[in-house]
Amino acid sequence: MEKRFVYADHSATTGVRPEVLEAMLPYLKEEYGNPSSIYNMARRAKEALEHAREQVQKAIGAKAATEIYFTGSGTEADNWALKGVFEAYAKKGDHIITTAVEHHAILHTCEYLEKVRGAKITYLPVDSEGFVRLDALEQAITPETILVSVIMANNEIGTINPIEEISRICHEKGVLLHVDAVQAVGNIPIDVQAMGIDLLSISGHKFNAPKGVGALYMRKGVNLPSFIHGGDQERKKRAATENIPGIVGMGKAIELAVAEMEEKNKKLIPMRDRLIREIEEKIPFAKLNGPRENRLPGHVNFSFEFIEGESLLLLLDMAGICASSGSACTSGSLDPSHVLMAIGLPHEIAHGSLRLTFGRENTEEDVDYIMEKLPGIVSRLREMSPLYEDYVNGNVTPIIMKK
Ligand SMILES: *Cc1c(COP(=O)(O)O)cnc(C)c1O
């Protein structure tokens, strides 16, 4: 095959799609009114803002549009949920339960609450495929527990958690449930009412809206304090002049993503499963990370023994393939991914991990091209690896068994 450009890093970010850009453009050009002003042009901006709120409401099955609060990112929504509950429910308790495989937006906020604000945090273990251990959740809840925060779909290994069961456990004990659904929106169905979710975070740039816009769903009755102080925007809870173009883009993008989800997954699931199958057939000492069922549709993550993920990414990049090792946020750091550690991978093989995540514009030809390049790149890196040489000389036993 001729050299191609294959973007296979949709869990890191996605590009703004043409229909979304089209919807945004008027608000970047002539419709620049401030929704807080009173003239006609400003009212049109306000209408656009409220229309986007309804689009988000419908996409996640919220009861009312007033339960949606726009934020500047998924990270901000996560911060607001955790810090807000900690502050608002201080009288009830100071204990928050989360999991060992959350995004850093959750983990580092919990660390802050623990170290600076005196919160007690429990990090639930997960099983070898990354599913939250429900028995551990049940045991961890105490009378002081005010919040459980669980990732809906894991950004590194694609595991989809059983949110309904988690919510049942939380609500039996009267504890609020926050869900980081940033990787789930547009990829798997979300219904906050049916799933019993109290708070939910989303981020536009993971589903073809621009970067720097997100939202927090706050179920009516869960009354978190204001997160950004200033003007009266977002019902006085999140001050700052609204990012109208970004919000309009996110509204349009979430509507399209949900409408097209089924069709897209009909394409992505077979692509994902073929890539997994072919890697397992053609590359020795390769281990799939995360589950085969209840896995995000376009999500593949493998560990390749005897090689470094970073070198693999560089050679893939030279072949025109954009991928990631574990999580984009940790590249540049030498620590292996906390998610791969939590599912029990030894350091040696966690370092050789590769994440390929597909989205709406990928095709079967992209899988063909990846399979044309990847096996050769892995062999080349192994030929240069002293660890592999030790294995060839019979001095070490591989951790991942040969197929
Ligand atoms: C990307 C991501 C975030 C952060 O969202 P930003 O809008 O980039 O701040 C949070 N949680 C998960 C699971 C993510 O994948």
- What's the rounded mean pLDDT across residues 298-305? 97
Secondary-structure class of domain 18-257 per CATH:
alpha beta
Residue 329 a catalytic site member: yes
The DSSP call for residue 394 is T
Pick the residue with more confidence: 134 or 400?
Answer: 134
Task: Show Cβ contacts of residue 87 under 8 Å, excluding neighbours closer than 6 positions.
Answer: 224, 225
pLDDT of residue 193: 98
Task: Show Cβ contacts of residue 32 under 8 Å, excluding neighbours closer than 6 positions.
Answer: 41, 45
Q: How much of the chain, in percent, has pLDDT values that exceed 70?
A: 97
Mean pLDDT of the residues in the chain: 96
Distance CA 158, CA 177 (A): 21
pLDDT beyond 90 at 54: yes
pLDDT of residue 327: 45
Greatest Cα-to-Cα distance within the chain, rounded to the nearest angstrom? 79
pTM: 0.97
Q: What is the pLDDT of residues 234-274, one digit of tens each?
A: 999 999 999 999 999 999 999 999 999 999 999 999 999 99
pLDDT band at 1 (very low <50, low <70, confident <90, very high): confident
**Residues having CB within 6 Å of any atom of ligand 1:** 73-75, 78, 103, 105, 151, 155, 180, 182-183, 203, 205-206, 214
Mutate to test the pocket of ligand 1, among 103, 107, 200 (most ligand atoms within 8 A of CB): 103
Q: What is the pLDDT of residues 114-125, one digit of tens each?
A: 999 999 999 999
pLDDT band at 335 (very low <50, low <70, confident <90, very high): confident
The residue written with tokens 């591989």 in the block is 398
The DSSP call for residue 10 is T
Neighbours of 72 (CB within 10 A): 17
DSSP H helices, 214-363, are 233-236, 244-282, 309-318, 338-342, 347-350
Distance CA 313, CA 290 (A): 20
pLDDT band at 330 (very low <50, low <70, confident <90, very high): very low
pLDDT of residue 5: 98
Angle between helices 74-88 and 104-117 (to 10 degrees): 30
Distance CA 3, CA 369 (A): 8
pLDDT of residue 237: 98
The phi and psi torsions of 300 (rounded to 5 degrees) equal -130, 135
The closest-lying atom of ligand 1 relative to the alpha carbon of residue 75 is 9
Q: What is the pLDDT of residues 100-118, one digit of tens each?
A: 999 999 999 999 999 999 9
Give the distance (Å) from ligand 1 centre to CA of residue 74: 5
pLDDT beyond 60 at 147: yes
pLDDT beyond 80 at 229: yes
Which CATH architecture does the domain made up of 6-13+261-392 adopt?
A: Alpha-Beta Complex (3.90)
pLDDT band at 336 (very low <50, low <70, confident <90, very high): confident
Mutate to test the pocket of ligand 1, among 16, 109, 110, 182 (most ligand atoms within 8 A of CB): 182
215: left (phi over 0), alpha (psi -120 to 50) or beta: beta
10 Å CB burial of residue 2 (0-12, 13-18, 19+) is exposed
- Give the CA dihedral 12, 15, 21, 22, nearest 10 degrees: -130
Enumerate the domain spans of the chain: 6-13+261-392, 18-257
